[in-house]
């Protein structure tokens, strides 16, 4: 074997096997997320029916890597990415001794949490925009942290010690639900919507083409802060 071939095998041994292990662990974690989501849905459904039967809660699995939680006027979409990622050299994780002592700990699987309006999916409004509420990184030792806005970004950021178990999953999901319920749909500025193409109006009976999103046309400092 040439030196290059030996290097290729060594790299495969170090990286490919590691990534396969992380991928398997992330799949297992995502399956647990699904179970916890269903449990939360069942608990909330019973209580919501006592309040107002018009409020809808529904869990649905769209694919092995994507599940939806509809809660009133919002949909939370949990999606597992099928690739394994390494953080760039400027990311804060490299500041942890936990990572600097063993760089392979910086390789992570990824689960994204998006927030869309339920009407966006119901009426297939393809121009509507959603928001990345948070993204969950999981490494080979099942340590995790969450990048996200507000409580999502600072409650789950101890990568050195936090283990992603069912209890922590429940906390992350509940935090995401609370964030979305308190993230209201605001009317866009008048000047941003005062013009409309005739095609938008003519086709509105079949499809609403005007994009809708919770903060479309707005910039709020508390929503535009850098991800923690």
R_g (Cα) of the chain, nearest Å:
21
The answer to whether 127 and 101 have CB atoms below 8 angstroms apart is no
Nearest alpha-carbon partner for 63 in 85, 41, 30 = 30
Residue 93 CB coordination number (10 Å): 20
Mean predicted lDDT score pLDDT of the chain: 84
pLDDT tens digits for 94-108?
A: 999 999 999 999 999
Which phi and psi angles does 217 have, rounded to 5°?
85, 0
| 149-184 pLDDT tens trace | 766 777 788 999 999 999 999 999 999 999 888 877
How far is Cα 75 from Cα 93, in angstroms, rounded to an integer? 30
- What pLDDT is attached to residue 100? 94
Distance between CA atoms of 207 and 209, rounded to whole angstroms?
A: 6
User: Of 66 and 124, which is predicted with more confidence?
Assistant: 66
Count CB neighbours of 124 within 10 A: 11
- Domain positions in the chain are 3-184
Q: At a CB cut-off of 8 Å and minimum separation 6, what does 59 contact?
A: 37, 38, 41, 67, 68, 69, 70
Cα separations in angstroms, 17 against 9, 72, 107, 144: 11, 43, 12, 20
Geometric angle at alpha carbon 173, from 76 and 61, rounded to 5°: 50
Res. 196 pLDDT band, cuts 50 70 90: low
How many CB atoms neighbour CB 170 within 10 A? 15
Taking the alpha carbons at both ends of the chain, their separation in whole angstroms is 47
Judge contact between 30 and 111, C-beta under 8 A.
Answer: yes
Token pair listed for 10: 């060594």
User: For residue 163, which phi and psi values (nearest 5 degrees)?
Assistant: -110, 135
Instruction: Name the residue with higher pLDDT: 208 or 114.
Output: 114
């Amino acid at each position: 074997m040439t030196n290059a071939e030996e290097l290729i095998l060594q790299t495969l041994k170090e990286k490919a096997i590691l990534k396969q292990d992380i991928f398997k662990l992330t799949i297992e974690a995502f399956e647990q997320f699904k179970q916890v989501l269903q449990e939360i849905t069942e608990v909330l459904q019973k209580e919501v029916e006592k309040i107002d039967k018009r409020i809808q809660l529904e869990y649905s699995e769209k694919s092995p890597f994507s599940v939806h939680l509809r809660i009133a006027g919002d949909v939370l979409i949990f999606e597992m990415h099928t690739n394994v990622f390494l953080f760039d050299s400027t990311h804060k994780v490299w500041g942890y001794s936990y990572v600097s002592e063993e760089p392979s700990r910086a390789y992570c699987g990824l689960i994204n949490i998006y927030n869309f309006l339920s009407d966006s999916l119901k009426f297939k409004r393809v121009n509507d925009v959603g928001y990345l509420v948070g993204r969950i990184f999981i490494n080979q030792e099942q340590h995790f942290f969450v990048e996200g806005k507000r409580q999502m970004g600072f409650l789950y950021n101890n990568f050195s010690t936090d283990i992603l178990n069912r209890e922590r999953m429940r906390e992350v999901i509940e935090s995401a639900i609370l964030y979305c319920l308190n993230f209201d749909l605001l009317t866009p500025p008048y000047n941003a919507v005062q013009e409309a193409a005739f095609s938008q109006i003519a086709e509105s009976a079949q499809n609403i083409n005007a994009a809708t999103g919770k903060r479309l046309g707005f910039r709020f400092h508390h929503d535009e802060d850098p991800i923690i």
